[in-house]
Amino acid sequence: MGTLSGKNIVKKYGKDTVLKNVNIDIETGKIYGLIGRNGAGKTTLLSILTAQNPATEGTVTLDGQPVWENEEALSHICYSREIPQVTMFGPNTLKVKDYLGTAKIFYKNWDEEYAKELVGLFNLNPKKKVSKLSKGMLSALTIIIALASKADITILDEPVAGLDVVAREQFYKLVIDEYAQTGRTFIISTHIIEEAASLFEKVIIIDDGQIVLNENTEDLLSRAYRVSGEDVNVDKATDGYKVYHPESIGRNKVVTVLAEEPVAGFGEDVQVEPVALQNLFYAMCVDGRKEA
């Protein structure tokens, strides 16, 4: 299967433009990480890419075919996100097994055995009402639906939000296992970046309704540097490079540099260290943004 592409996607809610001319290509067969601040547009983008919500402008195609209301395209996609515990009418009294049963009907590749195994693994009670589930159980349910769907393109929106560290590690292991076995495409959006960074073959950063970057994680990090030293030296050494989030304390200055290509050296007068994905993201998004 080819590429899931979004072209010139604009999404407005009334006067508010949440997505501003987004162009994105998702290659199948990879694990993607999608990171962005709250309100950056992650969920909106994902819901549009999966044809669950209409874009104001722009098109989404899978293998060149439009995804909107397209049976063939939709059969390959699973977009799993947090199940509401409260509806307009009161608590969500549907049970875990109702959701699993519905998923079984709708996902043509649904693996019932695998789902049962995961239910046991996460210790989920199928008879429990969704409104009565703890945050951890709720996350577990969305994860189970996503994994057992066996969909070619599986998207998880903040799957580890409610999970403790043990459950999170369990989740990462499950994804790796599934990916190693089936090679299916995963897109995982998360706020807990550093733990998952080594899982992502490619990372997409979205900020303020625009895609900031979409590239191979290791390539990206090989061009990111934390340069520190005396302020005049740092400025000299980083002249001409894209510099983020400069911080100073006394005469000491630290900046984060993202170069176009890996840099051999910044000279003798400054200290250079590599940057972890989370810190790079932080440096790129922390300044000059409206609050979510």
Partner 1 sequence: MIENLGEDKSIYLQISEMIEDEILRDILREEEQVPSTTELSKFYKINPATAAKGINLLVDKGILYKKRGIGMFVCEGAKATIQETRKTSFYENYVKKIISEAKLIGIDKAELKKMIDDTNEL
Partner 2 sequence: MNSLLARTRKYYFLAGLKLFGYVAAVQLLLVVEWTFFGVEEEDIVGFVSQNVITFNAMFMVLFNMLFAIYGPNWYDSMVLSMGARRRDVFWGQLIKQSVFVGLSAILSIVLCVVFKHENFLGYTIVAVAAAMILGALGLVIGYKVKKYGKIVIFGLLIIVGVQAGIWGFVLATGIKLPIGSLNSAMILSLIGAGAVAVFVLLEFWAYRLNQKCMVS
Question: Contact positions toward partner 1, by CB under 8 A?
Answer: 30-31, 169, 172-173, 176-177, 179-180, 198-201, 218, 221-222, 273-276
Q: CA-CA distance, 247 to 231, in Å (whole number)?
A: 10
User: Which C-beta is closer to partner 1: that of 57 or that of 218?
Assistant: 218
CB closer to partner 1 out of 19 and 254 = 254
Residue 172 Cβ vs partner 1, minimum distance, rounded to whole Å: 5
182 binds, among partner 1, partner 2, none (CB under 5 to 8 A by kind): none
Least Å distance, CB 35 to partner 1, is 16
- How many residues appear in the chain? 292
Q: Which does 42 bind (CB under 5 to 8 A by kind): partner 1, partner 2, none?
A: none
Distance, CA of 79 to chain centre: 12
Cα-trace Rg, the chain: 21
Give residues with Cβ within 8 angstroms of 143, minimum separation 6. Answer: 80, 118, 122, 156, 159, 171, 174
- Which is closer to partner 1, CB of 74 or CB of 175? 175
Among partner 1, partner 2, none, partner that 50 touches (CB below 5 to 8 angstroms by kind):
partner 2
Q: At its nearest, how many Å lie between partner 2 and the CB of residue 214?
A: 24
- The token duo for 222 is 């090989």
91 binds, among partner 1, partner 2, none (CB under 5 to 8 A by kind): none
CA 252-240-205 angle, 5° bins = 85
Identify which of 86, 75, 60, 73 has the alpha carbon closest to the alpha carbon of residue 6.
60
Judged by the rule CB under 8 A, the positions of this chain that interact with partner 2 are: 47, 50, 52-54, 69-71, 74-75, 77-79, 81, 83-84, 87-89, 92, 94, 99, 102-103, 105-108, 145
Cβ proximity to partner 2, 150 vs 253, nearer residue:
150
Q: Which residue is it, tokens 């945050």?
A: 135
3-state secondary structure 30-75: CEEEEEECCCCCHHHHHHHHCCCCCCCEEEEEECCEECCCCHHHHC
Q: Assess contact for 133 and 85: CB atoms under 8 A.
A: yes
Q: What is the nearest approach in angstroms of partner 2 to the Cβ of residue 285?
A: 26
Q: How far is the CB of 176 from partner 1 (least distance, A)?
A: 5
Tokens of 194: 């550093």
Supply the minimum distance, in Å, between the C-beta of residue 6 and partner 2: 17
- C-beta of 148: minimal distance to partner 1 in Å? 19
Residue 200 interacting partner from partner 1, partner 2, none (CB closer than 5 to 8 Å by kind): partner 1
Cβ contact 197:33 at 8 Å: yes
| Interaction partner, residue 52 (partner 1, partner 2, none; CB < 5-8 Å by kind) | partner 2
